[in-house]
Chain A
Amino acid sequence: MPVIGVLALQGDFVEHINMLDTLEVNSKEIRSKNQFKNIDGLIIPGGESTSIMRLIEIFDLKNEIISCSKKGMPIWGTCAGMIIVAQNIIHNESQDKVRKYDPLNLIDIDVNRNAFGRQIDSFEHDIDVEGLHDPYHSIFIRAPQVSRAGKNVEILASINKTKPVILKQDNILVSSFHPELTNDNRIHNLFMQMVLRR
């Protein structure tokens, strides 16, 4: 049976673990370097991307995550997690004094943080996801937008046919919404198919 590591530095990692439980998938919380052993997949949850990136840096986890990816391990980033694994982050110019982190560059996309707006613009929306028969009711919270996707990146769902919200390149899956906040485990199941196919 595969074990999924869930990065547990900050954010809604417990909700991912609960969702994996519904699929009877074993998981473990990851906070330190020595906990990356014996996992078959990694989820980087929703949360505040600046906070998680700072903690990744302080506790020196960057190279661990990159080496998991190089080995071909499936990695899924939701919302903040998508920002963290992107190639580039587009910043708001008025926020010139806050520290800018280099993302992990695991997938060939540029991400514009909070481009769907502030909390007042957070929304729920039904989307059609490639590989799923029925629409998926998705929750977007101060969500990031993908402003560029490379030619090898597969777009699995978009809003208005122009704004991709779930994308995949090789072993990397990203979503700008939060499947872990719903009762619908189909996207977690898609990720588990990536893990089991390896």
Chain B
Amino acid sequence: MTTDSDQMTGTWQVKTGLAQMLKGGVIMDVVTPEQAVIAENAGAVAVMALERVPSDIRKAGGVARMSDPKMIAEIIESVSIPVMAKARIGHFAEAQILEALGVDYIDESEVLTPADENNHINKHDYKVPFVCGSRDLGEALRRIGEGAAMIRTKGEAGSGNIVEAVRHARKVLGQIKHIHGMEPDELMATARDLKAPFALVKKIHETGSLPVVNFAAGGISTPADAALMMQIGVDGVFVGSGIFKSETPEIMADAIVKATTHYQDPAILAEISKGLGSAMKGIDLRTLPESEQLSKRGW
């Protein structure tokens, strides 16, 4: 007979498992309980609770920190879907606070000002799972090595420009294919070049896929952007400024949710892309100085 005493919480399986449940879905940035309700009612699979969306963080400048726990708690109370929140890179005390608040996922995020230029959080220490950004496979595997149970592209948050998310997703997926096709002899040198844990490189070689769910983030502003990323091969999308900085957030949220399900059907995509009002304005990244590029934060 089995007994109740053998219930295990905070395991790798339950951490990566929640990310599996989010696949094919849209995770939306929200700054108030009212926005969180709009997101859930539009069909979001989770919300990211934060004080300012990335495009406003950009405008405000200064140091961007973890959001007010009171606001995060109010958002947790107001919706039935999972609630995520952001901690600064390397700021394990912020992560401890977010875990104590009961958030369902922590995003160790380059959108906030990094707290440690060398070390990321040791994410194995927590029962709550973490998602982290990456620009290439080496970075993704370093984060997984530290305990991240979900990966997303960094993209360029708050830019309204999809180009960096495309670059990062293609890079990660291309490197996975390349390693999958390698001879076993080449794996150690590859791990050295990627600065990635050997065991994880070996696993990619065997399975041909990341051991965790991989979402797109950073610059997604329209249903077509979401469909583009899904067709490139990510498992789902984060939309930050793209919804609540658009002309009609309810309509945009709804359309991006539908596009993420029917990403392979151009006729449906054409229908849902009609009359959405203007998307967020966006930035040509070639005009953005390197010091203002959030994706360059972390390593």
Contact = CB atoms under 8 A, between A and B. Distances in A.
Interface of A: 8-15, 31, 46-48, 50-51, 54-55, 58, 79-80, 91-92, 94-95, 97-99, 113-114, 118-128, 135, 139-142, 159-160, 178, 181
Interface of B: 1-2, 4, 6-11, 13-14, 17-18, 20-25, 33-34, 37, 40-46, 77-82, 99, 102, 104-105, 127-129, 257-258, 260-262, 265
Contact of A51 (B8, B13, B105, B257): B257
4 cross-chain pairs, A with B, having the tightest CB-CB distances, nearest first? A119-B104, A122-B14, A54-B43, A126-B2
A174 to B, nearest CB: 16
A119 B18 contact: yes
B20 to A, nearest CB: 4
B138 to A, nearest CB: 26
Contact of A14 (B1, B21, B23, B105): B23
Contact of A31 (B20, B42, B261): B261
B276 to A, nearest CB: 16
B261 A9 contact: yes
Contacts of A80: 21
17 contacts: A10-B261, A14-B23, A47-B24, A51-B45, A51-B81, A80-B21, A97-B33, A97-B34, A97-B78, A99-B41, A120-B99, A120-B127, A122-B14, A125-B6, A141-B14, A178-B17, A178-B20
Contacts of B79: 95, 98
Contacts of B261: 9-10, 31, 55
Nearest to A13: B24
A136 B249 CA distance: 45
Contacts of A12: 20-21, 23
A121 B45 CA distance: 19
Contact of A47 (B7, B23, B33, B257): B23
Contacts of B23: 10-12, 14, 47
B17 A51 contact: no
A170 B55 CA distance: 53
Given A51-B25, A51-B43, A122 B99 contact: no
A46 B45 CA distance: 12
Nearest to A125: B7
A11 B24 contact: yes
Nearest to A121: B9
B192 to A, nearest CB: 32
Contacts of A142: 18, 21, 82, 104
Which of B20, B25, B33 has most chain A Cβ within 10 Å?
A: B20
Contacts of B24: 8-11, 13, 47
Contact of A181 (B8, B13, B46, B265): B13
Given A47-B23, A120-B128, A126-B2, A98 B37 contact: yes
A119 B20 contact: no
Nearest to B272: A58
B289 to A, nearest CB: 38
Contact of A46 (B20, B44, B99, B265): B20
Given A94-B77, A99-B40, A125-B6, A118 B21 contact: no
A124 B258 contact: no
Given A97-B34, A124-B8, A128-B2, 8 more contacts: A10-B45, A50-B80, A123-B14, A125-B4, A127-B2, A135-B2, A141-B21, A142-B82
A58 B129 CA distance: 32
A135 to B, nearest CB: 5
Contacts of B22: 47-48
A49 B17 CA distance: 15
B230 to A, nearest CB: 12
Nearest to A98: B40
Contact of B14 (A51, A94, A95, A139): A139
Nearest to A57: B43
Nearest to B34: A97
Nearest to A55: B261
A48 B44 CA distance: 9
A124 B11 contact: yes
